[in-house]
């Protein structure tokens, strides 16, 4: 029976219509027993599975940012009546961050109960005077086994056929939510994180992140198109955090909304100035990638968890145009006193030499005498007077005041550290997979041998006492000492690149660079030699697992970044005249034109794709191994051969079909 104002539904008096959709209608009603207004959601038919799911999901939650359920009738739900309007952008960054943190709070409460929302979108988020309210758990996935989890097929079907109100949901689906329609792939809370990223982008810009002229084009955009940037309106840290929400692969996203909220808390503490292109100055490009040294000041200050919010410290951002010394990886380190920055740059004659930038004046001093072929690392002495640098063959030192260079030994390495007594520790290299100790006189002794040949112990770092040291090996972080080098303690998991920094209050923190971007900050007790608290991720960093972190003892953090610009494959004639573009390429390590000239095989930083130059379409090939180097077409244009490395860094050749119908095979 149709409802209208003035009618009774059980004990509730219908007041007015709020809205309607394919699943039913929502009415404002009055409950005379408690003299309050409520919202009643009436099912279009019998009490459906979706209504039952929503009732159980909301009943399991009790959170100020989630709409509450009061009662359940034969064909309806009685819920909290909320005076507010749907979330809508654009809005100022600080206001968007405020609402984003509240959404994270609501989602975290649901995820902690094993509930994935699966329909997060602006229309399901109301803005009230007290904050946001998250609505509509009708598509929620519950951890409880009692309910079938099969609304997705209907959702996508309605989205594709243009039926009902679920069309709008399509714009906020995650890639795995779309894929689950075809392969039944399980989705988890990380799907909500992707949808949250889409909502956040719309809050900041007033536009959808992935648009299209048809449902099919929207699906293609979500599956294939890179995450949009908000760099023009927000800080680089917030841009990085948003892009991590929108990673196509769930493994590369934030793994919980609690981590996102912690990142937003840190971003809010840093002043929001954003450099213009004019302020950043000229750039030199190497294969379309600028090796950029980005300085973030006060990283440790924002880690004072239990202290009052400090006064904002100035943030210095600048770019140094460099030609990376080794591949695409820039090599640089900050002096312990925070006054100088040492880095490698390629000279005009093709050689590589050290340069030092004064942090106060910006003056750059060249040290041509400190040339080195294919350098792998550079580090300072504790007194900031001497620089040590090396490659896969030699270790040398530069006395900064005199510019004098001295060769210490012939000892290959990828990393190193030195204490106040002049004792040097060198990390492993493929040539010598062990940590070595070098005395001030240059005597070399083996200190620690890796348990497995491929598990190189890397990046030793002395603690302040100059006797104990940290190192990373085989995914773990370890503590050892010069006195008992064979006795070492595992402290936890560890990345290949980390630094130890003293905070403004005298406390210490471990900074670990993440291969998926960002920097983990971990409180560390140097007296006890143990981790002293949970990590927090600062969403500032590089997507390269080889990127270094460096820190002064004055609370300054240096992170090496890579700034990418759009790259274009272009046609040229035999005389070198540019004829036109063949399409945009999102970074590449190699490319090859098909024999018929109609397709372009592109190996990017993390994927392999084929671009149809006539149609303008791009197909990403589903590979089980990560390609490296170039792809080569077969003469008939039916397959490729490409190279990839295994865990032991040994390269193999693989063949794969251009049709993307079969996995690659090892040659």
HSE-CB of 118 using CA atoms within 13 angstroms: 28
Q: Are 495 and 519 in contact (CB under 8 A)?
A: no
Is the bond leading into 90 cis (omega within 30 degrees of zero)?
Answer: yes
- Radius of gyration for the alpha carbons in the chain, expressed in angstroms and rounded: 29
Q: Are 241 and 539 in contact (CB under 8 A)?
A: yes
d(CA 216, CA 503): 52
Q: Is 29 helix (H, G, I), strand (E, B) or coil?
A: strand
Q: Measure the CA angle with vertex 518, ends 209 and 174; round to 5°.
A: 30
DSSP 343-375: EEEE-TTS-EEEEEEETTT--EEEEEEEE-SS-
- Express the helix, strand and coil content of the chain in percent, nearest 5 each: 20, 35, 45
Burial of 41 (0-12, 13-18, 19+ CB in 10 A): buried
For CA atoms 205, 209, 215, 217, give the dihedral sign.
positive
Active site amino acids: 119
For CA atoms 483, 484, 490, 496, give the dihedral sign.
positive
Q: H or E stretch including 243?
A: helix 236-245
Q: H or E stretch including 204?
A: helix 189-205
Return the beta strands (E) in 508-588 as ranges: 508-513, 519-525, 530-531, 536-538, 549-551, 556-564, 567-572, 578-585
d(CA 458, CA 447): 13
Which of 563, 553, 557 has the alpha carbon at shortest distance from 296?
A: 557
Which of 121, 26, 118 has the alpha carbon at shortest distance from 79?
A: 26
Q: Are 356 and 340 in contact (CB under 8 A)?
A: yes
Q: H or E stretch including 175?
A: helix 175-183
Q: Is 656 helix (H, G, I), strand (E, B) or coil?
A: strand
Q: Which residues contact 497 (CB under 8 A, 6 or more apart)?
A: 458, 459, 472, 512, 513, 545, 546, 547, 548, 549
Token pair, residue 532, equals 């002293």
């Amino acid at each position: 029976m149709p409802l209208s104002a003035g009618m009774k539904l059980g004990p509730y008096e219908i007041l007015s219509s709020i809205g309607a959709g394919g699943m039913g209608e929502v009415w404002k009603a009055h409950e005379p027993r408690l003299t309050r207004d409520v919202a009643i959601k009436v099912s279009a038919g019998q009490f459906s599975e979706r209504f039952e799911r929503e009732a159980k999901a909301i009943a399991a939650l009790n959170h100020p940012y989630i709409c509450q359920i009061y009662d359940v009738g034969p064909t309806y739900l009685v819920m909290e009546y909320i005076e507010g309007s749907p979330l809508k952008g654009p809005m100022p960054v600080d206001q968007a961050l405020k609402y984003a943190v509240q959404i994270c709070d609501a989602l975290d409460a649901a995820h902690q109960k094993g509930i994935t929302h699966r329909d997060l979108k602006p229309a399901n988020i109301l803005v009230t005077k007290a904050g946001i309210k998250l609505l509509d758990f009708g598509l929620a996935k519950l951890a409880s086994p009692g309910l079938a989890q099969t609304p997705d097929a209907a959702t996508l079907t309605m989205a594709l056929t243009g039926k009902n109100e679920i069309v709008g949901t399509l714009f906020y689906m995650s890639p795995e939510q779309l894929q689950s329609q075809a392969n039944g792939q399980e989705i988890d809370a990380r799907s909500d994180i992707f949808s949250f990223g889409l909502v956040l982008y719309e809050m900041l810009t007033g536009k959808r992140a992935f648009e299209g002229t048809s449902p099919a084009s929207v699906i293609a955009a979500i599956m294939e198109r890179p995450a949009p940037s908000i760099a023009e309106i927000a800080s680089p840290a917030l841009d990085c955090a948003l892009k991590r929400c929108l990673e196509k692969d769930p493994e590369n996203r934030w793994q919980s909304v609690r981590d996102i909220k912690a990142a937003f808390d840190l971003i809010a503490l840093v002043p929001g100035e954003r450099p213009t292109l004019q302020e950043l100055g000229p750039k030199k490009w190497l294969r379309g990638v600028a090796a950029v040294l980005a300085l973030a000041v006060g990283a440790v200050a924002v880690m004072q968890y239990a202290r009052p919010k400090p006064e904002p410290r100035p943030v210095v951002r600048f770019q140094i145009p460099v030609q990376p010394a080794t591949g695409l990886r820039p090599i640089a380190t900050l002096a312990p006193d925070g006054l100088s920055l040492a880095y490698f740059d390629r000279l005009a004659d093709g050689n590589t030499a050290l340069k030092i930038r004064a942090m106060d004046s910006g003056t750059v001093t060249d040290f041509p005498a400190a040339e080195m072929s294919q350098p792998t690392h550079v580090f300072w002495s504790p007194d900031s007077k001497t620089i040590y640098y090396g490659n896969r063959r030699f270790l040398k030192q530069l006395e900064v005041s005199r510019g004098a260079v001295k060769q210490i030994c012939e000892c290959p390495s990828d990393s190193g550290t030195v204490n106040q007594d002049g004792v040097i520790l060198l990390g492993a290299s493929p040539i010598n997979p062990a940590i070595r100790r070098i005395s001030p006189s240059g005597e070399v002794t083996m200190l620690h041998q890796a348990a497995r040949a491929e598990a190189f112990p890397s990046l030793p770092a002395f603690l302040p006492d100059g006797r104990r040291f940290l190192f990373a090996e085989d995914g773990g972080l370890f503590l050892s000492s010069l006195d008992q080098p064979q006795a070492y303690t595992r402290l936890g998991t560890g990345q290949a690149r980390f630094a130890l920094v003293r905070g403004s209050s005298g406390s210490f923190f471990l900074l670990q660079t993440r291969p998926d971007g960002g920097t983990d900050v971990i409180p560390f007790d140097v007296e006890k030699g143990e981790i002293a608290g949970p990590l927090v991720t600062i969403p500032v960093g590089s997507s390269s697992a080889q990127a270094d972190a460096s820190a002064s003892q004055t609370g300054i953090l240096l992170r090496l970044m890579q700034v990418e610009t759009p790259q274009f494959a272009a046609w040229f004639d035999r005389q070198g005249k540019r004829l036109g573009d063949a399409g945009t390429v999102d970074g590449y390590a190699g490319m090859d034109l098909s024999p018929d000239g109609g397709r372009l095989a592109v190996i990017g930083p993390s994927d392999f794709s084929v671009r149809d130059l006539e149609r303008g379409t791009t197909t990403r090939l589903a590979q089980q191994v990560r390609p490296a180097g170039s792809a080569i077409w077969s003469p008939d244009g039916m397959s490729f051969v490409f190279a990839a490395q295994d865990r032991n860094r040994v390269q193999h050749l693989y063949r794969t079909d251009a049709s993307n119908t079969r996995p690659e095979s090892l040659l």
